[in-house]
């Protein structure tokens, strides 16, 4: 019995579904977004290709009118109830007005020298997700009639072809739809759609009756003109707009409006489109704005007015001739300036990494009186960091170690890279196998060993890896060949490293020149840092007189200050070079 009940229920459910389908019809499919290829010819063999957004609604191909206007390099504004598209191909320019749900569109000349034109569309534009759509052939036809240019849709390949270099060949189309003088029409949609077979009425314009308070005036510069925005609160008031006269003054009058005249008065001296905005309170409560345009420096092509109900602002659009080369030049200069700013920031000497050699279980060299290298260099490194912080407040100091701990050689360079160091200074003490009279400061950069003495020093400093865990695995491949490759990788910093080493050596030497100069050797601690890097051997612990100096806190501070003076000399010449390079780029 339960099985027969289930079967009966399923049959009833199927019949009910068929009944719903019969009454309501199949569910409407969502329109599919598509792109329509447009090929635009601008004359003299020049042009460009661009895609126009659209939708496919069942079998009909509709294009986004706003997207199509942008593809033709025309500015458009849509406030949710009406779209205005401005052009300046001809003289004068004109504005094209259309509204979703209305089969009529209006063409208004920019200077009023010719009459308005009313064009009837085969079907009314539709509104989908805030965009106005027309059938592709209809959109091409209406743009062609408005602009008097060739715009066609090729059904065979689905492409739009547009030629905007000149008027269409044959009879001009600019007289189609021409209205008698003083005939005012607003292409707003009718409150209710016309019945099939009946003509659609033209609805008279809506008359606003609100009171506005103008709070501010702002000028927003565009590549091809500007927008003058009167920020307002309250309701929309009746507004009239007079296009610029021979002196370049445009007049916008808001019949019921008020505001702080002093605050709304604007003066501009940047050579842009607008020279000034001057408000005037008229008898009867009207507020008039005189917008002085820079007609002496710019070729103004069109202007138009619109009220934005979403923001409550009164908008004045002014279009000027576009100097493409000037725009490209300005954009190139802006990109160069941005790149220079990034480069200056990237190479700004704002972080110094100070590496105190050895530490923890690795004492380093040990003097005749038991002085340990790890203790001496930690004090010198700490003092050097203190001098950097005191004298260079904007420079960050990074220590590879701040106390008596063991840090692997390869990890020291990684610390420098991790914290984006700009200089790496590794501090050590020298030593020879036996008591010797060798003394003085030596400064090394990374490179193949050129002398046996340099090789001996590097081998002594590198011997610390025997104290590291998994040293064989960590330093696998660290051979002479790897040293050559590391030296090549460091070649970008070779000049800076050498200059840094020379500056430090001159300031840190205690006895005058020891005749060695800057030396190079394969110190492993210098293999990893990606920045100018040096290793300073501050003196010989194997020399009893030098050991006495190196174990003195006062002398350690003097050594640290000598190294800092070398860094200071390097920084001064480095930053002078950066300024000179920036000045050459500006030229």
528 vs 21, higher pLDDT: 528
Q: Which of 81, 464, 44, 413 is nearest to 236 (CA)?
A: 81
* CATH architecture for segment(s) 351-584: 3-Layer(aba) Sandwich (3.40)
Residue 328 has pLDDT above 70, yes or no: no
φ, ψ of residue 48 to 5 degrees: the values are -155, 160
Provide the pLDDT confidence category of residue 524 given band limits of 50, 70 and 90: low
Give pLDDT, residue 271: 77
* CATH architecture for segment(s) 32-163: 2-Layer Sandwich (3.30)
Range of lowest pLDDT (124-133, 432-441, 486-495): 486-495
At 502-514, the pLDDT tens digits run: 999 998 886 655 5
Give pLDDT, residue 104: 80
Per-residue DSSP letter, 380: H
**Which alpha helices (DSSP H) does 232-356 contain, by range?**
261-264, 324-347
Tokens 């294009």 -> residue: 63
Q: Report how far apart, in Å, the C-alpha atoms of 10 and of each of 18, 26, 297, 520, 554 are.
A: 13, 21, 80, 90, 99
pLDDT, average across residues 316-329:
66
Percent of the chain clearing pLDDT 70 (strictly above): 68
pLDDT, average across residues 182-197:
45
Residue 538 has pLDDT above 60, yes or no: yes
| CATH number belonging to domain 212-322 | 2.60.40.3470
Q: How far apart are CA 381 and CA 395, in angstroms?
A: 16
The tokens describing 62, both together, are 């509709």
3-state secondary structure 495-562: HHHHHHHHHHHHHHCCCCCCCCCCEEECCHHHCCCCCCEEEEEEEECCCHHHHHHHCCHHHHHHHHHH
The domains spanning 32-163 and 351-584 adopt the same CATH topology: no
Give pLDDT, residue 388: 95
The tokens describing 559, both together, are 């050594």
Contact of 263 with 232, CB cutoff 8 Å: no
Contact of 520 with 447, CB cutoff 8 Å: yes
Provide the pLDDT confidence category of residue 198 given band limits of 50, 70 and 90: very low
Contact of 223 with 323, CB cutoff 8 Å: no
Give pLDDT, residue 550: 95
117 vs 114, higher pLDDT: 117
Provide the pLDDT confidence category of residue 238 given band limits of 50, 70 and 90: confident
Provide the pLDDT confidence category of residue 521 given band limits of 50, 70 and 90: low
Give pLDDT, residue 391: 94
Strands 75-78 vs 239-242: parallel, antiparallel or unpaired: unpaired
Q: How far apart are CA 573 and CA 55, in angstroms?
A: 62
Contact of 142 with 121, CB cutoff 8 Å: yes
User: Residue 372 half-sphere exposure, CB side, CA atoms within 13 Å?
Assistant: 14
**Which alpha helices (DSSP H) does 100-202 contain, by range?**
136-147
Domain residue extents for the chain: 32-163, 212-322, 351-584
Tokens 């010198």 -> residue: 380
Q: Which of 119, 268, 86 is nearest to 187 (CA)?
A: 119
Q: Is the dihedral of CA 132, 137, 140, 143 positive or negative?
A: negative
447 vs 39, higher pLDDT: 39
Give pLDDT, residue 565: 95
93 vs 480, higher pLDDT: 93
Give pLDDT, residue 94: 80
Reduced to 3 states (helix: H, G, I; strand: E, B; else coil), residue 118 is strand
Q: Report how far apart, in Å, the C-alpha atoms of 367 and of each of 518, 536, 557 are.
A: 24, 18, 19
Provide the pLDDT confidence category of residue 1 given band limits of 50, 70 and 90: very low
Contact of 521 with 447, CB cutoff 8 Å: yes
Provide the pLDDT confidence category of residue 557 given band limits of 50, 70 and 90: very high
Rounded mean pLDDT of the chain?
77
Residue 145 has pLDDT above 70, yes or no: yes
Residue 21 has pLDDT above 70, yes or no: no
350 vs 486, higher pLDDT: 350
Q: What is the largest CA-CA distance in the chain?
A: 116
Give pLDDT, residue 475: 44
The whole model's pTM is what?
Answer: 0.41
92 cis-preceded (ω within 30 degrees of 0): yes
Cβ-based neighbour number of residue 340 at 10 Å: 15
Contact of 72 with 139, CB cutoff 8 Å: no
Tokens 């009167």 -> residue: 230
Give pLDDT, residue 572: 87
At 250-308, the pLDDT tens digits run: 998 888 899 999 999 999 987 788 999 999 998 888 899 999 998 877 777 778 888 88
Give pLDDT, residue 259: 92
Residue 543 burial (C-beta neighbours within 10 Å; 0-12, 13-18, 19+): buried
Range of lowest pLDDT (162-176, 366-380, 474-488): 474-488
Give pLDDT, residue 397: 96
The tokens describing 342, both together, are 């990034």
At 422-461, the pLDDT tens digits run: 899 999 999 988 777 888 899 988 755 444 554 454 444 4
Give pLDDT, residue 218: 93
Provide the pLDDT confidence category of residue 103 given band limits of 50, 70 and 90: confident
258 vs 182, higher pLDDT: 258
CA 103, 104, 110, 116: dihedral to nearest 10 degrees?
Answer: 160
Q: How far apart are CA 102 and CA 188, in angstroms?
A: 6
Q: How far apart are CA 490 and CA 378, in angstroms?
A: 26
Q: Helix, strand, coil shares of the chain as percentages rounded to 5?
A: 35, 30, 35
At 346-404, the pLDDT tens digits run: 567 889 999 999 999 999 999 989 999 999 999 999 999 999 999 999 899 999 999 99
Contact of 250 with 230, CB cutoff 8 Å: no
Give pLDDT, residue 261: 93
239 vs 352, higher pLDDT: 352
pLDDT, average across residues 316-331:
65
Residue 194 has pLDDT above 50, yes or no: no
């Amino acid at each position: 019995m339960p099985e027969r009940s289930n079967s009966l229920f399923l049959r009833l459910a199927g019949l009910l579904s068929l009944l719903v389908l019969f009454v309501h019809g199949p569910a409407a499919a969502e329109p599919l977004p598509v792109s329509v290829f447009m090929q635009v010819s601008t004359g003299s063999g020049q042009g460009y290709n661009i895609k126009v957004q659209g939708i496919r609604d069942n079998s009909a191909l509709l294009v986004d009118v706003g997207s199509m206007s942008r593809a033709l390099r025309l500015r458009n504004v849509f406030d949710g109830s009406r779209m205005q598209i401005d052009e300046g191909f001809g003289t004068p320019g004109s504005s094209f007005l259309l509204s979703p749900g209305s089969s009529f569109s209006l063409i208004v000349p920019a200077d009023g020298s010719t009459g308005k034109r009313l064009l009837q569309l085969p079907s009314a534009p539709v509104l989908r997700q805030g965009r106005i759509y027309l059938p592709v052939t209809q959109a091409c036809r209406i743009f062609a009639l408005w602009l008097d240019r060739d715009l066609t849709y090729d059904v065979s390949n689905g492409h739009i072809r547009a030629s905007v270099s000149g008027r269409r060949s044959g009879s001009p189309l600019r007289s189609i739809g021409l209205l008698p003088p003083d005939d005012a029409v607003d292409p707003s949609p009718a409150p209710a759609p016309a019945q099939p077979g009946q003509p659609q009425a033209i609805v008279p314009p809506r008359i606003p009756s609100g009171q506005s308070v103008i709070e501010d005036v702002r000028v927003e510069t565009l590549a091809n003109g500007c927008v003058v925005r009167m920020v307002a609160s309250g309701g929309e008031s009746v507004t009239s707009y007079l296009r610029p006269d021979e002196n370049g003054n445009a007049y916008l009058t808001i019949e019921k409006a008020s505001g702080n005249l002093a605050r709304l008065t604007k003066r501009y001296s940047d050579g842009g489109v607008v020279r000034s905005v001057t408000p005037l309170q008229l008898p009867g409560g009207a507020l008039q704005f005189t917008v002085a345009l820079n007609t002496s420096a710019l070729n103004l092509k069109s202007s138009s007015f619109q009220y934005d109900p979403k923001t409550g602002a009164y908008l004045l659009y002014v279009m000027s001739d576009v100097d493409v080369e000037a725009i490209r030049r300005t954009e190139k200069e802006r990109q160069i300036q941005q790149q220079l700013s990034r480069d200056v920031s990237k190479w700004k000497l704002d972080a110094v990494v100070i590496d105190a050699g050895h530490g923890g279980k690795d004492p380093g060299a040990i003097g005749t009186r038991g002085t340990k290298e790890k203790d001496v260099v930690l004090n010198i490194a700490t003092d050097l960091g203190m001098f950097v912080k005191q004298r260079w407040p904007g420079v960050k100091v990074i220590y590879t170690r701040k106390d008596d701990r063991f840090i692997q050689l390869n990890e020291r360079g990684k610390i420098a890279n991790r914290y984006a160091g700009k200089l790496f200074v590794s501090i050590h003490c020298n030593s020879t196998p036996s008591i010797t009279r060798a003394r003085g400061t030596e400064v090394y950069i990374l490179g193949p060993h050129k002398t046996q003495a340099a090789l001996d020093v590097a081998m002594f400093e590198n011997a610390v890896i025997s104290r590291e865990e998994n040293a064989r695995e960590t330093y696998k491949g660290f051979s002479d060949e790897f040293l050559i490759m590391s030296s090549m990788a460091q070649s970008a910093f070779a000049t800076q490293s050498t200059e840094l080493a020379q500056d430090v050596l001159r300031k840190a030497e205690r006895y005058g020149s020891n005749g060695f100069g800057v030396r190079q050797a394969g110190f492993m601690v210098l293999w990893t840092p990606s920045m100018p890097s040096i290793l300073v051997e501050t003196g010989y612990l194997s020399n009893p007189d030098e050991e006495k100096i190196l174990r003195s806190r006062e002398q350690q501070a003097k050594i640290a200050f000598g190294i800092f003076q070398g860094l200071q000399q390097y920084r001064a010449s480095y930053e002078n070079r950066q300024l000179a390079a920036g000045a050459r780029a500006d030229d």
